[in-house]
Amino acid sequence: MVEAVHPRGSMSEPGIMRVERPEEQRVPVIVDVPHAGEWIPDDVHEEMVIGERVLRRDLDLYVDQIWAKTTELGATLVASNVSRYVVDLNRAEDDISPETVEGGKRILRPGYYQDRGVVWRTTTARTPVMAGPMSKAAFKRRLNTFYHPYHQTLREEIERVKSQFGYCILLDGHSMPSMGRKGHDDPGRRRAEIVPGDVEGQSCDTTLRWLVEEHFREQGFSVRSNEPYKGGWITRHYGQPQQGVHAIQIEIRRDLYMDERSFRIRREGLERLAEACTALIPRCGELDEEALRPSKRPRF
Provide the residue ranges of all domains of the chain, joining segments of one domain with +. Answer: 3-86+149-292
With H, G, I as helix, E, B as strand and everything else as coil, classify residue 76: strand
What pLDDT is stored for residue 187 in this prediction? 78
**Separation between Cα atoms, residue 35 and residue 83, nearest integer Å:** 7
Which of the following CATH numbers is that of domain 3-86+149-292: 2.60.120.380, 3.40.630.40, 3.30.470.30, 3.30.465.10? 3.40.630.40
pLDDT, the chain, mean: 92
Of 13-17, 27-31, 209-213, 296-300, the one with minimum mean pLDDT is: 296-300
- The mean pLDDT value for 230-247 works out to 98
Q: Find the mean pLDDT for residues 218-242.
A: 97
Residue 5 has pLDDT above 80, yes or no: no
CA 14 vs. chain centroid, Å, equals 19
Given this model, what pLDDT does residue 260 score? 95
Alpha helices, DSSP H only, in the chain? 42-45, 63-66, 136-142, 148-165, 206-218, 233-238, 267-284, 289-292
User: Between helices 267-284 and 206-218, what is the axis angle to 10°?
Assistant: 140
Global pTM reads 0.93
- Model confidence at 9: pLDDT above 60: no
> With pLDDT > 90 as the criterion, what percentage of the chain qualifies?
82
- Could you give the angle at the alpha carbon of 66 between the alpha carbons of 238 and 279, nearest 5°? 80
- Reported as a single tens digit per residue, the pLDDT across 167-192 is 999 999 999 999 987 667 777 788 99
Q: What is the pLDDT of residues 122-151, one digit of tens each?
A: 998 889 999 999 999 999 999 999 999 999
The order of strands in the sheet holding 76-80 is 3-5, 17-21, 76-80, 29-33, 168-176, 245-253, 194-197
